[in-house]
Amino acid sequence: MRFLVAYLRSPPAMIGLVLLLVVIGMALSADWFYPRDPLSLAGRPLIWPGANPRFLLGTDNSGRDIAAQIFHGARVSLLIGVVATSIAIALGIVIGALAGYHGGWVDDVLMRVTEAFQTLPNFLLLLVFVAVFGSDIVTVTIAIGAVSWPAPARLTRAEFLTLRNREFVQACRTIGMGDGRIIFREILPNALPPVIVYASVIMAVAILLESALAFLRLSDPNVASWGNLIGLGRDVLRVQWYVSAIPGVAILVTVLAVSLVGQGLNDALNPRLRKR
Residue 59, beta-bridge partner list: 65
**pLDDT tens across 151-164, in order?**
999 999 999 999 88
Nearest to 210 by CA among 68, 88, 89, 76: 76
Share of the chain above pLDDT 70, in %: 96
The confidence score (pLDDT) of residue 276 equals: 47
Angle at 83 between CA 118 and CA 87, to 5 degrees: 40
Residue of 157, 156, 148 lying closest to 194 (CA atoms): 156
More confident residue, 10 or 162: 162
pLDDT at 4 over 80: no
> In residues, how long is the chain?
276
Average pLDDT over residues 1-27: 85
State the Cα–Cα distance between residues 89 and 79, nearest whole angstrom.
15
Give per-residue pLDDT as tens, 180-221.
Answer: 888 888 898 888 888 988 999 999 999 999 988 988 888 888
Q: How many CA atoms lie within 13 A of 77 on its CB side?
A: 34
pLDDT at 94: 94
Would you say residue 28 has pLDDT above 50? yes
Q: Mean of the per-residue pLDDT values for the chain?
A: 88
**Most confident of the following: 20-24, 215-219, 260-264, 270-274:** 20-24
What is the pLDDT at residue 168?
Answer: 87
The amino acid occupying position 14 is M
Reference 250, options 31, 68, 11, 13; nearest CA is 68
Report the 3 state secondary structure along the chain: CHHHHHHHCCHHHHHHHHHHHHHHHHHHHHHHHCCCCCCCCCCCCCCCCCCECCECCCECCCCCEHHHHHHHHHHHHHHHHHHHHHHHHHHHHHHHHHHHHHCHHHHHHHHHHHHHHHCCCHHHHHHHHHHHHCCCHHHHHHHHHHHCCHHHHHHHHHHHHHHCCCHHHHHHHHCCCCHHHHHHHHHHHHHHHHHHHHHHHHHHHHHHHHHHHHHCCCCCCCCCCHHHHHHHHHHHCCCCCHHHHHHHHHHHHHHHHHHHHHHHHHHHHCHHHHCC
**Mean pLDDT to the nearest integer, 210-238:** 87
**Residue-level pLDDT at 271:** 53
> What is the per-residue pLDDT for 8?
76
Catalogue all structural domains in the chain, each as residue range(s) with its CATH number.
Answer: 2-274 (1.10.3720.10)
The reported pTM is 0.89
15-19, 79-83, 165-169, 208-212: range with lowest mean pLDDT: 165-169
Question: According to the model, what pLDDT value does residue 269 have?
Answer: 72
Q: Rounded CA gap, 190 and 215, in Å?
A: 40
